[in-house]
Amino acid sequence: MKKTVLILIMGTHLFASSIVLPENFTANFTQMITNPKKKVINYSGKVYFSDKTLLKWEYLKPTKKEVCTNGLELLVVDHDLEQVSNYLINKGFNLTEILKKAEIHDKNIYVAVYQGKKYTIQVDAKGQLQSVAYFDDLENKVQIVFKKVKYGKGKLPLKSMQCNYPKEYDMIRG
């Protein structure tokens, strides 16, 4: 879960590769994870990005979870289990660095190699992010598709970027 959640620790830049990342964005997402035996798990929800490193995922299906990161720590709130897991990030997916290495492959498809992994990035006609695909450390194929993307300027309210949970949830520190 940790590896797939770290998909968008990113910065704000207009890259020479023509991939546009704003100061903030919100989007609906679907995340499809296919294991080596071809078993597929689909997730969906909403993602929020702000201030270069703040990222919040609201998973709505198949379970309700919230995942928040500031680029240094990762907080996973599993509402079904009434559990909060807190992790320090020592190696993660850094989309800013990946996009700096991205090279055009075909029209709106870019390919980047970062930390020994190959990433395929698709953008729309305006150069805005549409999807990211890669293989994680467990050889699962991960594909995240963004829909109803809204790019903006400035920071999103800090409160909207935080994971919320009742105090009685169990806390696990990883």
Single-letter amino acid code for the residue at 20: V
CA distance 168 to 33: 31
**What are the tokens at 163?**
């994971």
Q: 10-residue block means of pLDDT along the chain (174 residues)?
A: 42 46 89 96 95 88 93 90 90 67 90 90 88 91 94 92 95 88
For the chain, report the end-to-end CA distance as a whole number of angstroms. 13
- Which runs of E-coded beta strand occur in the chain? 24-34, 40-50, 54-61, 65-69, 73-78, 83-88, 103-106, 109-114, 117-123, 129-135, 141-152, 170-173
Cβ 5 vs Cβ 75: under 8 Å: no
Could you tell me whether strands 83-88 and 103-106 are parallel, antiparallel, or unpaired per DSSP bridges? unpaired
In this prediction, residue 137 carries a pLDDT of: 82
In this prediction, residue 20 carries a pLDDT of: 67
Q: pLDDT tens for residues 43-57?
A: 999 999 887 778 899
User: What is the CB neighbour count within 10 angstroms for residue 149?
Assistant: 17
Q: Does domain 2-173 match CATH 3.40.50.620?
A: no
